[in-house]
Amino acid sequence: MEQTKRLTIALAGNPNSGKTTIFNSLTGSRQHVGNYPGVTVEKKEGQFTHKGITVKVIDLPGTYSLSAYSAEELITRNFIIEEKPDVIVNVIDASNIERNLYFTVQLMELGVPMLAVFNMVDDAKAKGIEFDYKKVKELLGAEVVQTVGNKGSGMAELLDAIIRTTESTNNKIEKHSVHYGKELEFEINKIKGMLITSENIEEKYKSRWLAIKLLENDQEIKKTITSDRINTVVREGEERLRSIFNDDPEIIVADSRYGFISGICREAIKTTIEARRSMSDKIDMVLTNRLLGLPIFFALMYMVFELTFTVGGPPMDLIDNFFGWLGGTIESFWPKGSESILKALLVEGVIGGVGGVVIFLPNILLLFLAIAVLEDTGYMARVAFIMDRVMHKIGLHGKSFIPMLIGFGCSVPAILATRTLENKRDRLTTMLVAPLMSCGARLPIYTLFIPIFFPTKWNGLVMWIIYFIGITLAILCAKLLRSTLFKGETTAFVMELPPYRIPTARSVFIHMWERGWLYLKKAGTVILGISIILWVMTTYPQKKVFSKNYDKMNTQAQMKYFDSIKKLNADLHLDNNSTVILDAIKTEKEMMDTQAKFHKNENGFVKASEAKAVKIAQLISSSKDGKILKAFLKTRDDIKKAMLKFNDSVKEIKRGTPEYIVMENGLNNRLNKIKNINKDVYYKVVLKFIENIEEPYLEKIKSITQSKQAEQIAFSVSGRIGKSLEPLLKPMGFNWKVGTALIGAFAAKEVFVAQMGVVYSVGNADENSESLRERIKKDYTPLAGFCIMLFCLISAPCMATIAATKRESNSWGWAIFQLLSLTILAYVVTVAVYQLGILFSIGV
Amino acid sequence: MTNTDRPPIPLMMAEQDTEVEIIEIKGGRELKSRLSVMGLLPGVVVKIIKKYHTCGYVLMVKNSKVVLGRGMIQKIMVR
């Protein structure tokens, strides 16, 4: 029965012939993208079922030829020869038949079962090209199907033809092949004869094809021939041909193929309309215009950048919130305040780490959406052309520009974007230098440091200098790499400018999703591992005995707090030894201490607040000063409520903006109301309590906790590494605290600021915390501060970048090379700057 | 258009909007081969669509638009 029959087909053809569109139409969403072993060329596989037959489809990379000059060509050729697919579906752009048939002719020579798909026949028709399909079929010796890939027409015929081609076992293909002329045919036959008699030749190659390839000087094929006798004959043949034609044999072979194709075109193709200026030409007149080309390009790039990072913002917040919620939910499985290692690992290590990666997903999806549109419309080829001169000067390809630009947002999508580069040398160079484009996550570091050491009017300039240093280093490194590791003739810039086309939503979305999914799957697993390691490093070993008695410090702070509250009695016209207020505050504190042990939805939490309410009510009713207490508490709650509301509403608003002033006025109005209702006396005392007693106490407690944390960090592996690195860090002007923060920065650059906050043990270490700035200022000179920024700019990119490099270069080697070389570069540059600065006493 | 008596000139010197025949490609075997698969080989007539002095030339080769970098246009001799 046919039910169990399985077929394998491969799609092959020129770039821009619409192969992938056909592939998507055939397989729908049942596809899988991987890499060919050892190379960065994508391998796309999918399958479909037609008439009970399951057909596996492979989308081979687009190539112009079956020679062995590029990875794509070699992959295509080896796949066809070694995997022997049941049918090669040759997708041909019908509107550009001559060049496309060059590939077809080579397939014919290979003698594989083939099916010719004339794609985009609507375009051909519009160009006035008409085919005599019967004749074409005869001349190619293969079935011919007409399709319009982006409209999906002709797909049913294609499916039938695929099955038909596999059923007809006797192929007539070999009958119709190029005749190379008397002299070449003589050499071909001579070599062919020797190949047939030679026994070491594997039968997978057709001997005629092999003979032609040998004459074409195909290095890969030549490697397989060990017989000296054959090699000599080939060499002699080459010489003879060169003396006759005054050119290399491969050129004569190519010439004959084009001659054969011209024959096909003469016999089977009729051009009815005189070629006129097409739509595509008109678009090109604008987009590659000498004056408008660059501005349009920059405008489009700006849009891509905006789309990636601005539109990506809200979904990133959503993902962030989701992981926050997830962490909270998982935390609630344990009793509050539990010190379970598993809980900490899950919440801080796993969720924190994975969340930090997944958060880039909107960026990546949007970026690839934009790139897919740019590529599918045909604009990308023009970008490469427009930017080639500039990029060429620094040893890169025109297409390298896009990844470099994206690098200002985030290195991870930048490295993923190097996929658009065909040449491996160009791709690796771009990948390795892309992290030098200062990414968005490094911005908080600069905004923390710059205002500490530089006057306000210089802030912008210093920021610009930092970015400029990054760009300059990227250029220098690219040049260096191109002249050492990736030496070699700069790839000849020959490229087809495909006609502009409207991309199909389907192919754009498939493209986008594939990339996103790959990112999640591969980078995710690597990053998960590294984030767990980093978490362990900053958490263990745990310190049991601390240098100071932090509990005692807490108790002392609390005693001082209570004393200060007692002193309020005078202001409230209470007896000096009255304890009503203090008792009430103590009751509230008790409640909070109890509640800290429970989750909000737990019984104990509610019970504690009920107990407090009862106790306070008792205090009010039993004491002679109950009334005063009641008024005090009410005023305090009212003021706090007003302040909370204000803080909530100005969270997203900048100070000094009109909206901010409106909110500020609202707060003042509310406060005035409270002032008037509750008589001035309570209002003033309560303000004094909040501002001079409660807040300093809370700050004190926080700083005690953070000092304890800082001691813990210093004790942990990463703290110890930081300390042991100190001799190395000294020449750059760093102390161990920076070292420890740098280890955290490897997880994600923005962690640096938070880590600095922790090691400097000040609360709430966001970029604006003044106290952190003050402490840093005490520890470092402006020169050292600048050096810290410099080091953060150049040094080891974050682990997500390393993971992306590993994935894109398909080797740990390059990822580690990137990590080490950038770190060494950062070290050398920073040491040089610091030492020179010291020498000339600049900024010390 | 093509006059066999005239000596070949580099493609760089050819006029925009004219059709020229490729006479010779000065370069290694690999380069020649790479160009030949794009349809650029001696005997082929190409049309110069646009000259960009900074980037290179846009040519019409066998019904498709091909761009050549600055290095290339000096190596291709045409008539």
**Each residue of A704-751: pLDDT tens digit?**
887 888 888 888 888 888 889 889 999 998 988 888 888 878 877 767
Q: Are A364 and A519 in contact (CB under 8 A)?
A: yes
Cα distance between residue A116 and residue A145, in whole Å: 6
Query: Do A309 and A569 form a contact (C-beta atoms < 8 A)?
Result: no
Confidence of residue A766 (pLDDT cuts 50, 70, 90): very low
A406 pLDDT band (50/70/90 cuts)? confident
What 3-state class would DSSP assign to A655? coil
Q: pLDDT-based confidence at A173, cuts 50/70/90? A: very low
Q: Measured between CA atoms, how close is A491 to chain B, in angstroms? A: 9
Closest CA to A537 of A751, A784, A827: A751
Using an 8 Å CB-CB cutoff, list chain A residues near B61.
99
pLDDT value at residue A526? 64
- CA distance to A47, A439, A463, A469, A697, per residue, from A793 (Å): 46, 9, 11, 9, 38
Among all residues of chain A, which has the CA nearest to that of B30?
A: A69
Report ipTM for this prediction: 0.91
- CATH code, residues A182-267: 1.10.287.1770
Average pLDDT over residues A776-780: 83
Q: What does the domain layout of chain A look like in residue ranges?
A: 2-175, 182-267, 555-706
Range in A105-114, A151-160, A363-372, B11-20 with the lowest mean pLDDT: A363-372
Cβ contact, residue pair B44, A69, below 8 Å: no
Q: How far apart are CA A496 and CA A573, in angstroms?
A: 90
Determine the average pLDDT of the residues in B31-55. 85
* Beta carbons of B65 and A385 less than 8 Å apart: no
Contacts of A449 (CB under 8 A, 6+ apart): A776, A785, A786, A788, A789
pLDDT of residue A2: 44
Cross-chain CB nearest to B36 (options A251, A389, A497)? A251
pLDDT of A118 reads 94
Q: Tell which wins on pLDDT, A380 or B44.
A: B44
Q: How confident is the model at residue A835 (pLDDT cuts 50, 70, 90)?
A: very high
pLDDT band at A818 (very low <50, low <70, confident <90, very high): very high
| Closest CA of chain A from B60, distance in Å | 10
pLDDT above 80 for B79: yes
| % of residues, chain A, pLDDT over 70 | 90
- Superfamily of domain A2-175 in CATH is P-loop containing nucleotide triphosphate hydrolases (3.40.50.300)
- Bigger pLDDT: A142 vs A277: A142
**Residue A458 one-letter amino acid:** W
Residue of A nearest to B64 (CA): A96
Q: Which residue has the higher pLDDT, A436 or A510?
A: A436
Q: How far is B78 from chain A (nearest CA, A)?
A: 16
Residue A678 has pLDDT above 70, yes or no: no
**pLDDT reported for residue A764:** 44
pLDDT for position A33:
64
Q: CB B27: neighbour CB atoms within 10 A? A: 17
Q: How far is A270 from chain B (nearest CA, A)?
A: 14
Mean pLDDT of A2-6: 63
Q: Say if residue A285's pLDDT is above 70.
A: yes
**Cα of A495 to nearest chain B Cα, Å:** 5
| Residue A1 reports pLDDT greater than 60 | no
pLDDT of residue A765: 42
Please compute the mean of the pLDDT values over residues A97-109 and round it to a whole number.
Answer: 90
The CA distance from B13 to the nearest CA of chain A, in Å, is 18
Quick check: B58 and A497 CB within 8 A? Answer: yes
At position A509, the amino acid (one-letter code) is: F
Q: Name every chain B residue with its beta carbon within 8 A of the beta carbon of A250.
A: 29, 32-33, 36
Contact A99 B58 (CB under 8 A): no
CB within 8 Å: A493 and B71: yes
More confident site: A824 or A16? A824
pLDDT of residue A560: 92
Rounded to an integer, the average pLDDT of A408-427 is 79
> pTM higher than 0.80, yes or no?
no
Separation of alpha carbons A819 and A532, rounded Å = 19
Compute the distance between CA of residue A547 and CA of residue A89 in angstroms, rounded to an integer: 75
| Residues in A touching B34 (Cβ below 8 Å) | 69, 492, 494
Q: How confident is the model over A277-302, as a mean pLDDT?
A: 83
**Closest Cβ opposite residue A494 in set B41, B54, B66:** B66
B-chain CB neighbours of A97 within 8 Å are 63
CA pair distance B14, B51, nearest whole angstrom: 10
Q: Using the beta-carbon criterion (under 8 Å), do A497 and B39 form an inter-chain contact?
A: no
Under the banding of pLDDT at 50, 70 and 90, the label for residue A90 is very high
The residue written with tokens 């609390």 in the block is A558
Instruction: Tell me how many residue pairs between chain A and chain B have CB atoms under 8 A apart.
Output: 109
Assess whether pLDDT exceeds 90 at residue A832: yes
Share of chain A above pLDDT 90, in %: 19
Please tell me the least confidently modeled range out of A228-242, A762-776, B58-72. A762-776
Tell me which residue in B58, B63, B67 faces A98 most closely, judged by beta carbons.
B63
Q: Which of A494, A496, A497 to mutate to test the interface with B (most CBs of B within 10 A)?
A: A494
Q: Which pLDDT score is estimated for A273?
A: 64
C-beta atoms surrounding A820 within 10 Å: 11
Please report which confidence band the pLDDT of residue A768 belongs to, taking 50, 70 and 90 as the band edges: very low
- Give CATH superfamily name and number for B9-78: Ferrous iron transport protein A (FeoA) (2.30.30.90)
pLDDT tens per residue, range A46-84 = 889 888 889 999 999 888 998 887 777 888 898 998 888
Top-confidence residue, A767 or A137? A137
> Average pLDDT, stretch A340-345?
81
pLDDT at B2: 46
Distance, in Å, from the CA atom of A509 to the CA atom of A419, rounded to the nearest integer, reads: 17
* Binding-site residues on chain A for chain B (CB distance < 8 A): 64-65, 67, 69, 95-99, 102, 216-217, 247-248, 250-251, 254-255, 258, 284, 288, 290, 381, 385-386, 388-389, 392, 490, 492-499
pLDDT, residue A93, reads: 92
Q: pLDDT tens digits, residue range A640-664?
A: 999 888 888 887 776 777 888 888 8
- Among A247, A290, A494, the residue with its CB nearest the CB of B68 is A494
Whether the pLDDT of residue A821 is over 90: the answer is: yes
Q: Which residues contact A721 (CB under 8 A, 6 or more apart)?
A: A537, A739, A740, A743
Amino acid identity of residue A514, one-letter, is E
The alpha-carbon gap from B72 to the nearest alpha carbon of chain A, in Å, equals 7
In this model, does residue A784 exceed pLDDT 80?
yes
Give residue A35's pLDDT.
55
Q: Is the pLDDT of residue A337 over 70?
A: no
Check A494 against B55: CB less than 8 A apart.
no
Q: Token pair of A12, please?
A: 């092959």
Digit-coded pLDDT (tens) for A526-579: 667 777 787 788 788 888 888 888 889 999 999 999 999 888 888 888 888 888
- By the 10 Å C-beta count (0-12 exposed, 13-18 middle, 19+ buried), A23 is classed as buried
> What pLDDT sits at residue A783?
92
Is the pLDDT at A831 greater than 90? The verdict is yes
Residue A116 has pLDDT above 90, yes or no: yes
Is pLDDT of A436 > 90? yes
Range among A214-228, A324-338, A477-491 with highest mean pLDDT value: A214-228
pLDDT at A711: 85
Q: What integer best gives the mean pLDDT of chain A? A: 83
Kindly state the tokens that stand for A449: 């440091």
